[in-house]
Amino acid sequence: MLKEFKEFIAKGNAMDLAVGVIIGAAFGKIVTSLVEDVITPALLTPALKAANLQKIEELKTDGGILYGKFLGAVIGFIVIAFVIFLLVKGINSLKKKEVEAPAAPAGPSQEELLAEIRDLLKK
């Protein structure tokens, strides 16, 4: 069983998955920081100042229901989804440019090469 496990780990799929998870976690931290430290404060600062609040989590109803955390999570989700959309759109546009690149001119066909070999053999 240990041998099978070593073979499984050594396969490319397991390594690719591990690399993807690690890079995804690091990317998640970057996006979270972008949302929490840059975008959300820039968008919410005017609204919070108008409501005399410092944090969105402080929003609550007259009955004491704290809806600010939920609202913050919704805003964070929308911003993260938009950032990921922009990244995917950028990656897709790069892929399209790669596909649109002209292909290298094709060399002589197999028949032409065989004809040249035939002619050389006749000589």
Options 1.10.10, 3.40.50, 3.40.1350, 1.10.1200; CATH of 2-102: 1.10.1200
| pLDDT tens per residue, range 86-117 | 888 988 888 877 666 666 666 778 888 888 88
Question: Which range (8-12, 26-30, 62-66, 90-94) has the least confidence?
Answer: 8-12
The kind and range of the H/E element at 101 are none
Among 88, 80, 87, which Cα is nearest to 31's? 80
Q: Report the pLDDT value the prediction gives residue 99, as an integer from 0 to 100.
A: 61
Residue 104 has a pLDDT of 63
CB 44 within 8 A of CB 56: yes
Give the integer Cα–Cα distance in Å for 104 and 83. 36
Average pLDDT for the chain: 79
Q: Kindly tell me if the per-residue pLDDT of 54 is higher than 80.
A: no
